[in-house]
Structure 1
Amino acid sequence: MPDQDIQQQIAALSKELNDYNYQYYVLAESHISDYAYDHKMKELEALERAYPNFSDPNSPTQKVGGAVTSKFQTVTHKWPMMSLGNTYNAEELSEFDERVRKAVGDQVAYVCELKFDGLSLSITYENGKLLRAVTRGDGNQGDDVTENVKTIRSIPLALNQADYPELFEIRGEVFMHKPAFERLNSARAEANEKVYANPRNFAAGTLKLQDSAEVAKRPLDCFLYFLYTENRNKLFHTHWESIQDLKKWGFQTCEHTQLCTSLQEVLDFVNFWDKQRHFLSYDIDGIVIKVNDYAQQEELGFTAKNPRWAISYKFNAEQVETTLNSVSYQVGRTGAVTPVANLSPVQLAGTTVKRASLHNANEILRLQLHEGDSVYVEKGGEIIPKIIGANATVRKADARPISYPTACPECQTPLVRQEGEAVHYCPNEDGCPPQIIGKMQHFIGRKMMDIEGLGDETIEAFYKAGILHRITDIYQLSNHQQELKQLERFGEKSIEKMLHGIEASKEKPFEKVLFSLGIRHVGDTIAKKLAQHFKHIDQLAAASIEEIAAVQDIGIRIAESVRNYFQESFHQQEIQLLKDAGLQFQVVEKEVVLASESFAGKTFLISGTFANYSREELAAFIESHGGKMLSSISAKLNFLVAGDKMGPAKLAKAEKLNIPIINEEQLLAMRAE
């Protein structure tokens, strides 16, 4: 047969199989038997083996896998995968609706979606072809699992012909249907292999297998539900519109998604699926409610962790009764002592629960817990086990109340409790082993210094071996190579990799170093704000409580914690040693070449949608001419750049403060004035 005919036959078979996948997964139609489908797949595989020069990387045969990944590469999300705020009742959902309407007016519609209990995923497509798939990770960066995702039949490798963007990201949830999970778990049990607790764990474990051929053997599925791309508003005005087009492009979306035009319709949707969820073939644990209009989403914006235009309604958690055997106490890196309930093992929401957090001494008193109590346990948000009460009717007459310790369970130092706080602390931070180990583990963490070759277990092993005593010792490990070689599972290659990772960490920016120090109440976001404001560690260390508290979003509580940290001589010594090691303790300013200084000294805020430019483009224009962007309306604002569908609350506040309100044409004209 001529090569041209072979190539045409391969192309025809590929198209036919892709069409069958689209019909089955997207349209929920089956136009061919499984036997006939498999026969055509084998025919295509045989042709591609015989004529590899005609094989296509986006062929349906690529779903069988074959790539082996020794390590998953970390990828930074272009658009962070933020978590959602949670509600648990109609009152909280009503409060969310009121906040939305106060900001954008009463013309609001919501899209209600089932909240799948799976693994969140971001997939990038370029020119209609799957380019990359990344797990949620910590929200800012995740693992590249592209080869494994390519094996999931409901995720297209190449899209149908349609008017989609050249480059875009689509968000979704990978999961496993309950019947498939039960079938595979039964097979594992028969083979005396470890069984998984629930479909979510099975799906998550599968997606992180190193051999994609093994992934292909497990029937993962995926629903896609959110689009990100540059200038998205020029393609669609609403989230609902985008969902309809996603189907045309070839993506599987959930058929149960609904557009609601009132809060009552949202509540009806929530109540319906609270009862009907048990009849689905997959697990859901709530409903996601999103503001439909993209312009209103932009107007509402984000908090540091969550979008203000979306919220999750969590169904009531499953509850069980079991025995409280004892209470133990864990000491964290900050010295916080957390009580943990040790329970008789019990099945709860698909997992075996043996322990539950009791949070603090106040919680133990509130629950009035006694030794040997029969307690009620549920999973908060169906994730974290917690005790919600005790069954006092079956309590033994001589049962003793649980009493919180007065001394640290690790180093016996008397505990302290600061005024206004519920948590007890061990103040012996430079002599209490869990605190010392915890601080070093925090320092090397992924969002902190991210030192390759050093993990939590390694830190603990080095501490017990007497090699590490404090954070600064990490930068002296090159002097202990002979001692390291004596440790189990630590050869020359491991040592070389670790030392290279330590050296590379010296290039981490000041904000990362500041976060890594583990100052109480100073998280990632606060560290960035402090670094940007004070520019240098010495200026921050010399600042008063009032000066620190004056930084945006920094309150007195954080300011006091920061000030107390830098006043400790032990911390001053640590910082000096880290300076000597070569770490970055000042902000490296990037040179910015301005197009002009037309807006120098002026502040702007952009609100609404615009005909010719996106909000990002207008912000970039302002900053390129020396202007500064603000995030909210205040007396410090010089100009409000207003577009269509601007929130009435912002408009009213700007008018009350007599802030000039301009449109995009007036903004552009100001450049030449």
Structure 2
Amino acid sequence: MSQISVADLTEAQAVEELERLADEMAGHDLRYYQDDAPTVSDAEYDELKRRNADIEARFPHLQRENSPSLKVGAARSAQFSPVEHGVPMLSLDNAFSNDEAEEFDARIRRFLRLGADEPVFYMAEPKIDGLSASLRYEKGVLVQGATRGDGRVGEDVTANLRTIADIPHRLKGSGWPDVIEIRGEVYVELEAFAAFNKAAEEAGSRTYANPRNFAAGSLRQIDPKISATRPLRFFGYAWGLVSEPFAASQSEALEKLEAWGFVTTAPPAERVQGAQGLLDIYARFETLRPQLPFDIDGVVYKVDDLERQRRLGFVSRSPRWAIARKFPAQRARTILEAIDIQVGRTGAHTPVARLHPVTVGGVSVTNATLHNADEIARLDARIGDTVVLQRAGDVIPQIVEVDLAARPEGAEPYAFPHVCECPLKTALAQEINANGVESVVRRCTGEFACPFQRVEHLRHFVSRRAFDIEGLGEKQLQAFFDEGWINEPADIFRLARDEEKLAALRERDGYGETSVKNLVAGIDARRSIGLDRMIYGLGARDIGETTSTVLARHFDQFADLQAASEAAARGLPGATYLELSTAAGVGPKALDLLVEAGRAGVPADPWPQSEDLELKIGQVVPKLTKPARAALAQRYGTWEAFAEGLAQAAKGAPGEDYLTLAAVDGVGPVAAQSLARFFAEEHNRQKVENLLAELDVQAVAKPKTDTAVAGKTVVFTGSLEKMTRDEAKAQAEALGAKVASSVSKKTHLVVYGPGAGSKLKTAQELNIDMMDEDQWLALVASL
């Protein structure tokens, strides 16, 4: 059903919507709690919870026994023994704004019937993004440890919890009850998390999206020895079953826990007063977040007085006396620790921000784009600055703001390099575009002499959407390049047949007979390759995946594309022609008229005494439209400048072969120029010749034009379970559809899988046709 507002739902629609929400949230719970691999962000999940709660508030009689609003966590895994908690481990309601925080304070006051002058104190504690755990101590000795599970029954992970150094096996000091369940959070510090992921990626092992998933996956290992190797830590901040009271307030309880040997969150936890105290501490924690060694996703407010907590009690699955104020999911503050320069395959020098790790939108972020030198200057970003980071969906995180008030003393403006980062230190250059404007991109002028560019070309060649050679990752490619074994793409295929090099490889650490055999198999599997992947793999500038597909469908053979490109190179347009072709108001027809006039010879000024250039241009080229005449008059200013520009444009007009290539639907002048220049270079032609000697390039099937989706725009969203996103895209394009990455009014169909979030919501709001993955596959099979 489309996303109807809660206020407009009929009762029948509410029943259907509650069922849909329950099913969707149950799937997310399974992936979050059991698989430690969520497919939606916390913010998207919270939005589902709020919609469910709003519907139940409007139709309270429709609340079901298994409603998500009554659930805490998820069912335990069968691989661990059950542990029934002495007191349920409930979750907290959420607040997302200052108004909601103030309303929380107002509710507390109304319930306790407090006068305006009676103070209410709260403990404000950092909301650790980890895995909740409960530790049962009897006479001061740890006897059992469990996860939260569904809140009532958790998983027995005692042996795993004993491996965490922060958890005492025997309580220190004295004064603890004979029986007490200490509760807290298992977490991992940000630097340790980043180090683990880096090592895992290099080893080809599983990496984790964020610290919470890492902590959960590490604790819930069948073999405690694995948990022991993970850098897990524990904060104690609460308790469950106790045989006798041990404190009068939350703040006193934290002091007791610390005395008994636990690491607590105080500091930075702090006791505050009233609604204003809640707002002030939230702002302080938001500022403090980048400086903490662990990740937090908000602040937990708890009424400090335990007697007042007892009076306030609980509502369904959460306490009245506590609430979690969460940070915005897609924005975060962090520290800019360094600015590194990455050299791309075209020599572009792109600055990358290295950040103190922070979770944004459910993903741990340590890097963000800074785009170019102009962007750094605009932000005035400096090392050590506190910056605001933004991430939306799959978009690369970017810095949107610098907190100048928090700038450390002595921070220096960033000096962008003027020479390449490579050992050759080749000069950087800024290109001048057709309008005479200097490009913001700075490129190394060394091209293939630059080792960085050569490696990047090779990385592009073996990338997933190009040749996708299994077993030849960045680490191996760099090693082979440093060894001198691989300098160009053809060398990859030669390596697979070089017995001397393969024999030497078998003797190296990390290799062996099986590894070498798999590498050779991965290379040989790509000796037969589609024409579209071949074109894309060459890495010519401005020739992306879509343009490669267009070219492959237009030219049946690679030789035909190369011949057309080389012919186009003999008739490349001149700079003045390109400048004129991009002038405002000058379209293709006007450009042809101007070139024709220039070839005929530009006459002398028809009215030397007149300053009306627009009128003069109309006299010489009478078929020009008034907007074109006005644009040209403004551009050139004088008759002499116009006449010279016309002559040069005619002289630099492109040849027919170039125009033919540019006219291919979906190619255009920019891609045509790039192809022509690529094949005009002798070293590029030689590289291609060497590569073709190793390959069998296959023609690409033409897309169908008579299917139900031909000519329509399709968007895929969510986690597809029966095919990869690339397979789905290829299916759609083969059926004649266009695949887009975002949903708009021009979208005809959205195909969704588990975890579909904002794109599915947008499709519902725009009333766009939708189908799940199984329905899509059924459609494909029927066509």
State TM-score, norm by structure 2: 0.38
State TM-score, norm by structure 1: 0.44
